[in-house]
Amino acid sequence: MKRSILYLSLLVAAITACDRGSLKQNAAPDTRISVTEINLVGEERLRSEVTLHWLGTDVDGYVTSYELSLDGTNWTEVTSTDSTFNFSLTAGSDTTDIDFFVRAIDNDGARDETPAYLLVPIKNSPPTAIFDTVRTLPDTGFVVMTIFFDVDDSDGANNLDSVFLKLNNGPWYPFEPTVNTVTLVPQDPAFTGITSANVFVGPQADLLPNAIAGLNLEGDNTFYLKARDAAGAESVVDTSRALFYKRKTSDLLLVDAHNSGSTPTPEEVYDQALSPLFASYDRIDLTRDNGANIPQLWIPTFSFLLELYDKVFWYGSTAEVSILENAAAAVQNYLTGGGKVLISTSFPTDFDNSSSAITEFTPIDSAFVGLGPRLPLDSLLMPTAAFAADYDTLEASIFVGRATPIYVKSIAETIYNGQIFAPASYNGPTAMGALTRNGSGNINMVIVSVELQQVYARPQELENFFNQVLLNEFNW
């Protein structure tokens, strides 16, 4: 019996010893790259922006992260299994071979002792730079111009180093690679010949510290554009067509937003009235060639243009009120900065008083746009009592079928009432001209809600009107 008990004890001890066993050492993970070899040479090499994939396995655990290296010594830990790399090349070289290592790390912190390796043959591609001919570089530039261009690099945007612009025979002017909008404002806008311009970048118009040289005011200009990447490779130079760049010749700017046919034309009437008062004036036609001269950016382009002038006369028609709507913010900025504006326009029947930007910066509270009001031939625009001593009566030279009487804001002053012909039931306003003053009490805005070339039956009186507004009211 004792012998049996001893045998059982030895057996239990043996079994217990087998259960405890011996600890097995953790196995390191294994790593591989999805592509094992890239056999490309010469022009067939990869571009410097390359996407690589890798994967790790672990027989006795799981992979938690990876380490990447370009030299097998310095490692960077990541948790992803793919990434896009912008490999850099030595300046002046367009090809190189990149050593790429990756090793997995398991849940016990063990690293693959034989990292996966891939030789990546890359070739730098030169960038591209072209002028945006849809949005910029018209046949004629008006003192201020915004230039748009597109710059790209097939090796990735991060591979771009600089963008360069050259005006005629001037030096190359460098920009940051993210710049694609440049506004030029001549330092002396009245100069004739080769001069320099202040440079503003982006839609926010950030002023750069250095001016650009080579601009030819009142002459033909050719612009050049190129880009350079981090490896020193340059794009093919893009050359603009020749464009005439106008200079400033006067302190008065006429903004022509009138595209409706009339005889005589607004230009003929206004030239007759303004020539005795001004030796010269500048005019920009926003309706020419289907709006080719309309700024792609009202701000800053149009704002900068207005700021160069002491006073502005904007004339339009019913069909072109939308242009004034679009320019509203630029005109408001001009007024806020001390500008002076005369506006002459009629309004369409679908004019929306409740949302119009025009009612925000003009004396108009709302315009009467319903059918009915007319201004017959020989009817009058008569100055109100407060302005009778300074303003002459104007007389309709045609039958004005789209008269637009206005309600005037309480902070504004009515200058003219019209002899409006309307149905007996009409009970709307008769005001057709008004003004506002700035914080100093100076008149800075005058608007007439009829096209002034339609009330020139008394030419001298129309000339007197321009004299009173542009030379007297705006003389501050």
Q: Are 50 and 68 in contact (CB under 8 A)?
A: no
Residue 394 token pair: 């104007």
Q: What is the pLDDT of residue 40?
A: 56
Q: What is the pLDDT of residue 290?
A: 83
Instruction: Please list, in sequence order, all residues whose beta carbon lies within 8 angstroms of the beta carbon of residue 48, skipping any fewer than 6 positions away.
Output: 86, 87, 88, 89, 122, 123, 124, 125, 155, 156, 159, 231
Q: What is the pLDDT of residue 123?
A: 77
What is the value of pTM for the model shown? 0.79
Per residue in 227-257, pLDDT tens?
998 878 899 999 999 999 999 999 999 999 9
Q: What is the pLDDT of residue 237?
A: 98
Q: What is the pLDDT of residue 249?
A: 97
334 membership: H or E segment, kind and range: helix 321-336
Question: 37-51, 130-144, 196-210, 419-433: which has the minimum mean pLDDT?
Answer: 37-51
Question: 122-126, 265-269, 375-379: which has the minimum mean pLDDT?
Answer: 122-126
Q: What is the pLDDT of residue 324?
A: 96
Q: Are 62 and 110 in contact (CB under 8 A)?
A: no
pLDDT (average), residues 111-119: 94
Confidence of residue 2 (pLDDT cuts 50, 70, 90): very low
pLDDT (average), residues 91-102: 81
- R_g over Cα of the chain: 38
The edge-to-edge listing of strands for the beta sheet with 223-229 is 173-175, 160-167, 223-229, 238-239
Question: 41-45, 204-208, 231-235: which has the minimum mean pLDDT?
Answer: 41-45
Find, among 103, 100, 91, 90, the residue nearest to 121 by Cα: 100
Q: What is the pLDDT of residue 4?
A: 41
Residue 294 token pair: 């309309």
pLDDT (average), residues 16-43: 69
The edge-to-edge listing of strands for the beta sheet with 413-418 is 282-285, 252-257, 311-316, 341-344, 443-448, 431-437, 413-418, 380-383, 394-395
Residues 55, 80: Cα–Cα separation, whole Å: 9
Residues 314, 77: Cα–Cα separation, whole Å: 64
Q: What is the pLDDT of residue 36?
A: 60
Q: What is the pLDDT of residue 3?
A: 43
Q: What is the pLDDT of residue 87?
A: 76
pLDDT (average), residues 177-185: 96
Residues 3, 300: Cα–Cα separation, whole Å: 108
Residues 21, 302: Cα–Cα separation, whole Å: 86
Question: 88-102, 172-186, 205-219: which has the minimum mean pLDDT?
Answer: 88-102
Confidence of residue 1 (pLDDT cuts 50, 70, 90): very low
Per residue in 392-424, pLDDT tens?
999 999 999 878 999 999 999 999 999 999 877
Residue 17 has pLDDT above 60, yes or no: no
pLDDT (average), residues 92-108: 87
Residues 25, 19: Cα–Cα separation, whole Å: 18
Q: Quick one: what percent of the chain has pLDDT higher than 70?
A: 91
* Average pLDDT of the residues of the chain: 89
Confidence of residue 298 (pLDDT cuts 50, 70, 90): very high
Residue 219's Cα: distance from chain center in Å?
26
Residues 434, 48: Cα–Cα separation, whole Å: 65
Per residue in 311-357, pLDDT tens?
999 999 988 999 999 999 999 999 999 999 999 999 988 889 989 99
